[in-house]
């Protein structure tokens, strides 16, 4: 088995065995990586930077679509934040690169909050049902 196949199997198994909150953290991890790679590539390879920004936008759209807005509260607030992030990524793709550190900071803060929530949910099994309001 080739190393790429082993890596793909490991990642697939990791996703399949993760809780919904842990999957959200994984999405944030990849979103942060895309933003970091876009920042690094803006000066060197604008095409690659654009590809990372496009992928970042897809991740934010996925996060937004996974929300149960009817639950209100945090889901509605997160939806607004995700809308803001999408608008910022569009502006960055249009050449306003100074906005990138700001959204990277927001993504990092949200990722840390989700990681903390995922850890708390993993340690308190009775709370797991309540997480469904945040992640559909």
> What percentage of residues in the chain have a pLDDT greater than 70?
81
State the Cα–Cα distance between residues 6 and 12, nearest whole angstrom.
10
Burial class (CB in 10 A: 0-12, 13-18, 19+), 131: middle
Query: What residue spans define the domains of the chain?
Result: 3-133
Answer yes or no: pTM beyond 0.85.
Answer: no
State the Cα–Cα distance between residues 11 and 83, nearest whole angstrom.
28
| pLDDT for 136 | 47
Q: Are 69 and 75 in contact (CB under 8 A)?
A: yes
Residue range 3-133 in CATH 1.10.10.10: no
- pLDDT, tens only, 42-94: 888 888 899 999 999 999 999 999 998 888 788 999 999 999 999 999 999 99
> What are the tokens at 106?
């927001």
């Amino acid at each position: 088995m080739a190393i790429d196949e082993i890596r793909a199997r490991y990642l697939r198994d990791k996703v399949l065995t993760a809780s919904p909150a842990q999957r959200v953290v994984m999405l944030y991890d990849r979103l942060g990586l895309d933003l970091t790679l876009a920042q690094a590539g803006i000066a060197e390879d604008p095409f690659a930077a654009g590809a990372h920004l496009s992928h970042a936008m897809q991740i934010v759209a996925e996060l937004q679509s996974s929300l149960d807005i009817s639950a209100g509260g945090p889901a509605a607030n997160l939806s607004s934040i995700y809308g803001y992030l999408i608008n910022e990524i569009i502006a960055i793709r249009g050449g306003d690169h100074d906005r990138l550190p700001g959204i990277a900071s927001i993504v990092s803060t949200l990722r840390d909050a989700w990681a903390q929530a995922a850890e708390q949910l993993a340690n308190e099994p009775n709370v797991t049902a309540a997480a469904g309001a945040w992640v559909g």
